[in-house]
Amino acid sequence: MTSQVNSKNNGTSIDRSRVKILLCDRNAESCEEVSTLLTACCYQVISVGSAVKVVDALNEEWSSIDIILAAVDLPIESSIEMLKYIMQDRHFKCIPVIMLSTNHESSFLLNFLRLGATDYLVKPLCIDEILNLWMHCWRQPKNLILAA
């Protein structure tokens, strides 16, 4: 599988191997499954198992993280507090946050969008969703490397 994707919008391509994703899921099996998909699509992945570890990873590497994928199946309060914390920090709030959920209920997911999440995906994920995650980086163009 190639690490470059052509954007249909403007004819540019992006090197997904330069996109770093911070993945948070307390369910080890689910985390491994999503991490495997991300890696197969050539993304760089940092996996953590709690909202607290997301904050720790951001404090260490915020400038190199392009997208945060965070499972809502963490304790809901922890997910909400994590998202609020990210949105209140001037550096972190520029990183797109995509919530992962097994719950299809729109009112449940809209709450996260109101709090600042960029988008949400419902598990199980399909390969096309993973291949196109880089499109969420438009909010943070500083790290994207356009391939020639």
Span 12-27, pLDDT tens digits = 567 899 999 999 999 9
15 assigned to some structural domain: no
Four-point Cα dihedral 75, 46, 39, 132, nearest 10 = 70
User: What integer is the mean pLDDT of 131-136?
Assistant: 84
Tokens of 24: 């948070």
Residue 12's pLDDT is: 52
CATH number of the domain at 36, please.
3.40.50.2300
What would the pLDDT profile of 95-120 be if each residue is shown by its tens digit? 999 999 988 777 778 899 999 999 99
Which pTM was predicted?
0.83
d(C-alpha 122, C-alpha 109), whole Å: 10
* Residue 24 placed within a domain: yes
Q: In which domain, by residue range, is 134 found? A: 20-147
Residue 18 carries which DSSP code?
G
Question: What's the number of domains the chain is made of?
Answer: 1
pLDDT at residue 130 above 80? yes
d(CA 32, CA 76) in angstroms, rounded, equals: 21
